[in-house]
Amino acid sequence: MSDTLIIIPAHNEAENLPRVLPRLHRYLPQAHILVVDDHSGDATGAIARRHGAIVVRLPNNLGYGGAVQTGFRYATQAGYRYGIMMDADGQHDPVSASSLLAPVQAGRCDIAIGSRFTGTMTYRASWVRRLGMRLFAGIASNLTHQPITDVTSGFQAMNSDVMAFFAEKNYPSDYPDADTLIMLHFAGFRLAEVPVTMHPRLAGVSMHGSSLKALYYIVKMLLSISIVLFRYRTGAGTHRPQPVS
């Protein structure tokens, strides 16, 4: 029984999974792979199974956040000690997965965020998206009292405490970002960044596509961070679950 689960949310990724999953088996052969099929209209689930992944198919499309949280609940109930969260589109290079997991396994942090800015980024984001990344990296670094360069990274490794925390009701409905990292800091978790390699998606359309979506992201994230700060300062914030003795 492996102690590590790779969680991959997937919606209509049948074209990309045959190129992603074999590389994961190659570079992390000891890990189990869970593909959360977010009610895809293509053969995502069947192809994932064909390539040796565990598949959970959602009865409705829940979006990125709902699919990832399903993965955390599966990992928590199954008793995995470590989790790696990554995308199905080929953006997150499996070569980086072991180095991302290493500091978590060594107990140096509770969650490791893969950074394309201290590592390698083989594409260029739009100027609006780059503006948002820099803005919220600055806010997150200030509030957590440590440098964080890549707040939008969905390439993360974590221990079972973090997965249990997210499996409850502490995960955003869309995608992880500065608000999530700030929440983890206030809840007492230790964060670290690890250099990773990221590529453009292999095929299909990115959920971050247009400039309008990028502008919406900036407004939405400012509001979400304000809510996290309000909850923390009023004592209504979330807390790290205590181990059962």
Tens-place pLDDT, residues 159-169: 999 999 999 87
Report the phi/psi class of residue 7: left, alpha or beta, with left for phi > 0 and alpha for psi in -120 to 50: beta
> Can you read off the two tokens belonging to residue 83?
């989790």
The string over 99-116, giving b where at least 16 C-beta atoms fall within 10 Å of a residue's C-beta and e elsewhere, is bbbebbeeeebbbbbbbb
Write the pLDDT tens digit of every residue in 103-162.
999 999 999 999 999 988 876 766 677 787 889 999 999 999 999 999 989 999 999 999
The pLDDT of residue 217: 79
The pLDDT of residue 244: 39
**What residue ranges do the domains of the chain occupy?**
4-233
Looking at this protein, which amino acid is placed at residue 192? Answer: A
DSSP string spanning 154-223?
--EEEEHHHHHHHHHT-S-SS---HHHHHHHHHTT--EEEEEEEE---SSS--TT-SHHHHHHHHHHHHH
The pLDDT of residue 168: 87
What's the Cα-to-Cα distance from 186 to each of 99, 105, 109, 155, rounded to whole Å? 26, 22, 15, 21
Give SS3 for 4.
strand
Q: List, edge to edge, every strand of the sheet that includes 191-198.
A: 54-57, 32-37, 4-10, 82-85, 156-159, 111-121, 191-198
**Partners of 8 in the beta sheet?**
35
Distance CA 16, CA 134 (A): 29
Kind of pairing between the strands at 82-85 and 54-57: unpaired
Residues lower than pLDDT 50 in the chain: 208, 243-245
Distance CA 55, CA 69 (A): 14
The pLDDT of residue 225: 92
The pLDDT of residue 123: 67
Greatest alpha-carbon pair distance for the chain in Å reads 50
Label residue 166 exposed, middle or buried (CB < 10 Å: 0-12, 13-18, 19+).
buried
Give the CATH H-level superfamily of domain 4-233. Spore Coat Polysaccharide Biosynthesis Protein SpsA; Chain A (3.90.550.10)
Distance CA 123, CA 72 (A): 29
Distance CA 213, CA 229 (A): 24
| Residues counted in the chain | 245
